[in-house]
Structure 1
Amino acid sequence: MEMCTSTACLVTILCIFARSSAQGICHHDRQSHRDAGFSGQMEGNCGNVPYKISRSSCCNGNITLGLSQMVANCCGSAAYNPLNEICCNNNILTLSSTQAKCCGSVTYLTRTHLCCGGNKIYTLKENLSCCGNKTFDKTTHCCCTAPKLEVKPKHETCCQKATDLKCGSNPYNPHEQICCSGKLYKRASALTKCCGEDFYSLSDDNVLCCNGILKHNVSEQSECVGGVIYTPGNTTCQMSVRPRLGEHCCGGQTFNPHTHICCNGHSHNKKNGNFCCGSEVYDHHNQSLRCCSGHLYKLTNSSGEAECCGNLLLQYNNNQTCCSSSTNTVMYDTKQNHSCCGHYYYNTSLWSCCAEHLKPTPKPNNSPAKYRIKPLMDLIPKMCNKKVFFGKVESVALENDQRLVVLKFVWQVNVKSEKIIKDPWLHVSLDHCSSPATENGMTYLWEEIHNGEYKLLSHPVDLTSDIQMFYSVCYQKKR
């Protein structure tokens, strides 16, 4: 077994393994998994008052504390959790069932009743449908929309033009109209397309639909890649002029990478640290500092009894709960009979959770996940001296309540002895429902907790930058 003592050597070995996979190159494992939900603007203004989007919500100029804007809906001027509550005519009601819907100011069950006209509730029967606030039997009658909305026998001329298609609660003719996320528009031609709730024509100039958001005044050459608009030829690195040969860009200035480090467009002297936390630089050996997804915190106690919750710092002695998935991390006020399912906080009497997927079928014996996975850097330095390894999920199968995972290209690392143990295959068995979700092709950090028993630790990691950072920090810590 070869000894490998340098970070560069370790990364080279990892790249060699990666090249032998189906992808054929040493590459990023879907970079969007690493960044989604953990970066970006987390503060906003509610009227003229600043507020934290990650721990409060703004509705019509009023702030609701303890519920993140990322998972809340507005009901008039108050925010609510749509998993456990419903807003009917600006009143927040507690859900009695996941199938409950609004009908005016009250709720009804969709499996037993029908709401017509937005305020009339009828007992649900076979072939019964709505026409305004009235009902009709679809086998004998139809709902005519012109010249007015009314029920007519099926032999009437208007019934031949009627359609069962609906946009939201409104019937529509797809030959004349287009339905975009519940909103109706006049269809100008076959080139009319939806982009989220908006519409556009393929023949429109300087318009681009990017991840459901319609962008105007963009270059004809622009492309939408991963939710970001790119324009070919834009190589100025945010500068008004191109840098000279050999110069590196950092925001609107150049910097020397031998003496400085660039963090989100801000240049810092490496003497102050060589790790970025957002736009700041810090020394990872400093135990009083904690970087949480680009936000640098100074701990107020020496025991370090705090952990990251996305870009927030969660103190263990407060009454808050952190729920996270590979795309989002949200902090909630702790409530009885509630539990995490990925980044959602749900009422266990309404929902059940299996492998981070909510189901509207509560189960008395349902056991939620007992732990949450974290970004790789949030696990350092705790993981530096443990028996951990990086494994890529090759395939998954279910057997009874077990998730059987085949890991390919496993790199088991014992930092203390500076050895890499290579094993091309490893078979892992997890309790399916109480374990976080895994995705084929993604690489994760794992821990062997007992002989043949393994625990998933991290969000999907990057095969080069994340793992290089992990080794670099751990080796420097050991020295």
Structure 2
Amino acid sequence: MDVYTTKCVTMFCFFAAFFAQGICHLDKESHRNKGFNSHMAKGHHLQCGNESYISSESACCNGKITKGLSQLVADCCGTKAYNSLNEICCDGSLFTRSSAHVQCCGEVMYLPTRSCCFDKKLTERKENHDCCGAESFDKTTHICCSNSLSVKPIKESCTNLTVPPRPLSSSPTCTSFQIPEEKSETYNPKEKICCSGRLYKASTLTMCCGDRIYTPFDENVLCCNGTLHLNVPKQSECVGGVVYTNNTCDLSARTRLGEHCCGGQTYDPRTHICCNGHSHDMMNGNFCCGSNVYDPHNKSMKCCSGHLYKDLGEYAECCGNRLLNNTSQICCSSSTTAIIYHTKSNHHCCGHYYYNASLWNCCAENLKPTPNHDSFHPEYRLKQLTDLIPTICNETVLFGKVESVALGKRDRQVMLKVINDFKDSWHYEYLDHCKTPALENGMTYLWKNTTNGYKPISTPVEHISDIHMFYTVCHQHKCQKG
């Protein structure tokens, strides 16, 4: 069994498998990570009238800013932003939904099962009747003539018979955001070479450097970590992603023996740490958070998706790149998006949406209207890895990559590939389908051992450095305790 136990153990193993095939395609992981970074880790600064705002914290409607509701989940009702899951806008008037099925009839809200709406006027709809304009009719004995919106006995005929048009819902049914279609093309490896989705004519000595090609015959060219450098001096070398010319960094600073390059400077990795090109003294911390350095044991600091927060209060939790430090707020997150909401009674998270449990039912991060007595609500939500430390250090956990998922009657069967051990590298777990968060194939999560097997507890872990940080901090925490 692959577990992290109470012993002070720092050695752990990672492995990866690579394979090549004759299909030139774009990397699906690059699309996923791009979306994850843009929504989970960043808030976009936008302009609203004469003011600027952050889309992850506020929304803009007709030149007016509504704070506390992200643009990612907001619709506009005049100049007011609102959550269309729990509210509805009718001709500029905002109402709290009494049902997930309510629609607008002019300036009022109504249920299509109880009323007929025509020309912004409501009439009563009898039970088991349909609507024909403003008139309610028994579809077993009568028909609706769409050309005149008149009701006639079923034995009579009328032209252009059709089902009467349904009133338009005020809720959006689609979004303008679409992921570009991934194209693939087959090719003959003897004639062409595929470099990051681009095809080139190839010779036996043609090599890829990112999405470009080069050969050993090309002078003054050097490939360094997927970047093709042109017009470099002869005898240049690539070491650790840095171009060295005549044994010096191709930077503004000159190296001494044993020093490494960090941005435009050099540093000694025995005393300093390099974070995105910025050198820091290890006395201030030994882990990077974006371009800053911090100590995960310092409770006054927290790293949220590359953003470092200091001078924290008693309660602090990451929500994407933002900090949730108020118990009156809640973070709802999916694998791509994290959004902060003000807490409300009988409301729950369904992925990154916040819904009224009397209107909706959530199953595996999919919303469905009109809950019944068997409605499911998520038992818990995934948290960022940094929020789980150090409490989780005392638990039995593993890092598992989701390889495949199958659906049973009420459960979800997940095949895991354990990435930090070679001995028992596969796990097969059964999760309650509706009550546990949705998981993505190919993504790695932290899993906690429970009486019913392992369950996922973290948002996707994207970097091996995060796993290293987890084991190192937990090791230090356990050794300090005893």
Count of residue pairs the alignment pairs up: 387
Distance apart, 1:477 and its partner CA: 4.6
- CA pair 28-327 structure 1, distance change in 2 beyond 3 A: closer
Q: Distance in 2 between matches of 1:69 and 1:274?
A: 36
Q: How does 1:229-248 map to 2 (within 5 A)?
A: 245=244, 247=249
Distance apart, 1:430 and its partner CA: 2.2
Secondary structure of the equivalent of 1:444?
Answer: strand
Kept in 2, the 8 Å contact 1:34–1:459? The answer is: no
Counterpart in the other structure of 2:216 = none
Counterpart in the other structure of 1:444 = 445
Secondary structure of the equivalent of 1:423?
Answer: coil
Distance apart, 1:253 and its partner CA: 5.7
Specify which of 92, 105, 108 is matched with residue 106 of structure 1. Answer: 108
Secondary structure of the equivalent of 1:92?
Answer: strand
Q: How does 1:228-307 map to 2 (within 5 A)?
A: 245=244, 247=249, 254-256=264-266, 258-259=268-269, 263=275, 267-271=278-282, 272-301=284-313, 304-307=314-317
User: Where does structure 2 lack aligned partners over 5 or more consecutive residues?
Assistant: 22-27, 123-132, 152-156, 182-195, 199-209, 214-222, 233-241, 253-261
Counterpart in the other structure of 2:340 = 331
RMSD value over aligned CA atoms? 4.9
Q: How does 1:218-233 map to 2 (within 5 A)?
A: none
Distance apart, 1:330 and its partner CA: 1.4
TM-score, normalization by structure 1? 0.65
- CA pair 421-448 structure 1, distance change in 2 beyond 3 A: farther
Counterpart in the other structure of 2:24 = none
Q: Distance in 1 between matches of 2:329 and 2:366?
A: 22
Q: How does 1:340-419 map to 2 (within 5 A)?
A: 340-409=349-418, 411=420
Q: Distance in 1 between matches of 2:65 and 2:273?
A: 39
Counterpart in the other structure of 2:81 = 79
- CA pair 108-373 structure 1, distance change in 2 beyond 3 A: same
Query: Which residue identity does 1:284 align to in structure 2?
Result: P
- CA pair 124-410 structure 1, distance change in 2 beyond 3 A: farther
Query: Which residue identity does 1:442 align to in structure 2?
Result: M
Kept in 1, the 8 Å contact 2:303–2:309? The answer is: yes
Distance apart, 1:355 and its partner CA: 1.6
Query: Which residue identity does 2:454 align to in structure 1?
Result: Y
Distance apart, 1:274 and its partner CA: 4.1
Distance apart, 1:114 and its partner CA: 6.8
Counterpart in the other structure of 1:35 = 37
Query: Which residue identity does 1:441 align to in structure 2?
Result: G
Query: Which residue identity does 1:467 align to in structure 2?
Result: I
Query: Which residue identity does 1:268 align to in structure 2?
Result: S
Could you list the per-position Cα deviations for residues 77-112 of structure 1 after superposition, in whole angstroms to 9, with x for gaps in the alignment? 111110011112111122232222334323344567
Query: Which residue identity does 1:285 align to in structure 2?
Result: H
Query: Which residue identity does 2:366 align to in structure 1?
Result: H
Q: Distance in 2 between matches of 1:273 and 1:128?
A: 75
Task: State whether structure 2 residue 311 is matched by structure 1 residue 311.
Answer: no
- CA pair 269-279 structure 1, distance change in 2 beyond 3 A: closer
Q: Distance in 2 between matches of 1:62 and 1:117?
A: 31
Q: Distance in 2 between matches of 1:327 and 1:261?
A: 30
Kept in 2, the 8 Å contact 1:14–1:463? The answer is: no
Task: State whether structure 2 residue 17 is matched by structure 1 residue 19.
Answer: yes
Secondary structure of the equivalent of 1:422?
Answer: coil
Q: Distance in 2 between matches of 1:99 and 1:444?
A: 36
Q: Distance in 2 between matches of 1:254 and 1:130?
A: 74
TM-score, normalization by structure 2? 0.64
- CA pair 333-240 structure 1, distance change in 2 beyond 3 A: farther
Could you list the per-position Cα deviations for residues 422-465 of structure 1 after superposition, in whole angstroms to 9, with x for gaps in the alignment? 32332322222211112333322111133x43331112223734
Kept in 2, the 8 Å contact 1:100–1:108? The answer is: yes
Task: State whether structure 2 residue 471 is matched by structure 1 residue 471.
Answer: yes
- CA pair 249-311 structure 1, distance change in 2 beyond 3 A: farther
Kept in 2, the 8 Å contact 1:404–1:428? The answer is: yes
Distance apart, 1:341 and its partner CA: 1.1
Q: Distance in 2 between matches of 1:65 and 1:129?
A: 48
Distance apart, 1:288 and its partner CA: 1.3
- CA pair 50-358 structure 1, distance change in 2 beyond 3 A: same
Secondary structure of the equivalent of 2:392?
Answer: helix
Distance apart, 1:19 and its partner CA: 1.9
Q: Distance in 2 between matches of 1:406 and 1:80?
A: 40
Could you list the per-position Cα deviations for residues 308-345 of structure 1 after superposition, in whole angstroms to 9, with x for gaps in the alignment? 222232235x3222222212111111112211111111
Secondary structure of the equivalent of 1:14?
Answer: coil
Specify which of 46, 52, 55 is matched with residue 53 of structure 1. Answer: 55
- CA pair 391-104 structure 1, distance change in 2 beyond 3 A: same
- CA pair 115-280 structure 1, distance change in 2 beyond 3 A: farther
Kept in 2, the 8 Å contact 1:34–1:461? The answer is: no
Greater C-alpha radius of gyration: 2
Counterpart in the other structure of 1:462 = 462
Counterpart in the other structure of 2:426 = 425
Query: Which residue identity does 2:455 align to in structure 1?
Result: K
Q: Distance in 1 between matches of 2:398 and 2:302?
A: 24
User: Where does structure 1 lack aligned partners over 5 or more consecutive residues?
Assistant: 143-152, 155-163, 170-180, 183-194, 198-208, 213-222, 412-419
